[in-house]
Amino acid sequence: MVHQPSSQARLSPSSYEDDIRAVLAPRLVYFEAVARHEHVTRAAHELGVPQSTLSRAMVRLEQDLGVALFARRGRTVQLTPAGRTFLGSAERALAEVEKAADAVRADADAATGKVAFGFLHTMGSETVPALIRAFRADHPRVRFQLVQNYGEAMLERLRAGGLDLCLTSPVPDAPGLVARRLDEQRLRLVVPEDHRLARRRRVRLAEAADETFVTLEPGYGLRRITDDLCAEAGFAPRVAFEGEEAETLRGLVAAGLGVALLPPPAVARPGVVELAVTAPRAVREIGLAWLDGHPDTPPVAAFKRFLLSRRGNLLPD
């Protein structure tokens, strides 16, 4: 007997969009196997399910869709035109699921998996390359997705699941995150080479109270540190230029457009002099952050252990 599905779909128009994935997804593998074999019993044997269970699942699928997918003759079936259309989409969907499963398994592989790692722009030219090189001495095939950004943007990406780990400053103290202090980096007052303070080796930050500053934009951790240190020194900095990258600020200082509080450069920049700040203590703490309760894949866990083992020895001399 040829089954005639109900002419009315089980899913109402109002619920269709919300429910269709939950209804269809568990049955796509069943449908693909029946369509490929054109035989319910053989498909049930391949899938390891009772023939009656598979038959009921196909009947229910047709009822939910409101269309006939098969023309039936006993346990032998033949796809209808609607069934052939649906099969093409089902095969593509299943192939994408398989592809996604292969990808996440590959990313979690202990030897060849992937680590999504975020870090500050100022750590990109020297610190992070040296860290990855040292880690890959023992894990040569681990892959990295590297993201450079300012601290708050990285933490947002971490919370959204786009990063596994990030090196940031200041060390965050926020719900849902775990952070560990790894190192600290001394900041210097950077002045033009012809500046009145350029012949000095050390300076109190209060001596720059009347200077024009060039700084990173609000929202950057180093900007917050600069504002806090200046406040501790008894003044609010007069900001003439705001930027997104420390070396751009050094260029502005070299052009005589102001002074800046910056971490040491990877390579000495001509046209500027970098002064040690004696008071207040001008440092920024560097920390490692990750999501609280988030399970690590083996490569992420290995890289996290490596970074934590570098506490106090994270930054180049």
pLDDT in tens, 139-160: 999 999 999 999 999 999 999 9
> Distance between CA 147 and CA 168 in Å, rounded?
12
How many CA atoms lie within 13 Å of 285's alpha carbon, on the beta-carbon side? 12
Residue 2 lies in a domain: no
pLDDT, one tens digit for every residue, the chain (317 residues): 344 444 444 544 444 555 667 777 778 999 999 999 999 999 999 999 999 999 999 999 998 888 999 998 876 899 999 999 999 999 999 999 899 988 888 899 989 999 999 999 889 988 999 999 999 999 999 999 999 999 999 999 999 999 999 999 999 999 999 999 999 999 999 999 999 999 999 999 999 999 999 999 998 999 999 999 999 999 999 999 999 999 999 999 999 999 999 999 988 899 999 999 999 999 999 999 999 999 999 999 999 999 999 999 998 76
Q: How many structural domains are present in the chain?
A: 3
For residue 155, give the nearest of 123, 309, 225, 147 by alpha carbon.
147
> Distance between CA 10 and CA 39 in Å, rounded?
25
Residue 316 lies in a domain: no
Same domain, 150 and 179: yes
Distances (CA, A) of 284 to 62, 134, 151, 203, 238: 64, 24, 13, 18, 21
User: Residue 70, SS3?
Assistant: strand
Instruction: Judge contact between 23 and 64, C-beta under 8 A.
Output: yes
Within 8 A by CB and 6+ apart from 176, the residues are 159, 291, 292
Same domain, 33 and 88: yes
Residue 179 lies in a domain: yes
Instruction: Judge contact between 91 and 33, C-beta under 8 A.
Output: no
Same domain, 300 and 160: yes
Question: Strand order in 165-168's β-sheet?
Answer: 143-148, 114-119, 165-168, 283-291, 177-186
Q: Can you say how many angstroms the Cα of residue 187 is from the centroid of all Cα atoms in its chain? A: 28
The whole-number pLDDT of residue 3 equals 47
Find the CATH number of the domain harbouring 54. 1.10.10.10
Give me the domain span that covers residue 204. 188-281
Q: What is the pTM (predicted TM-score) of this model?
A: 0.77
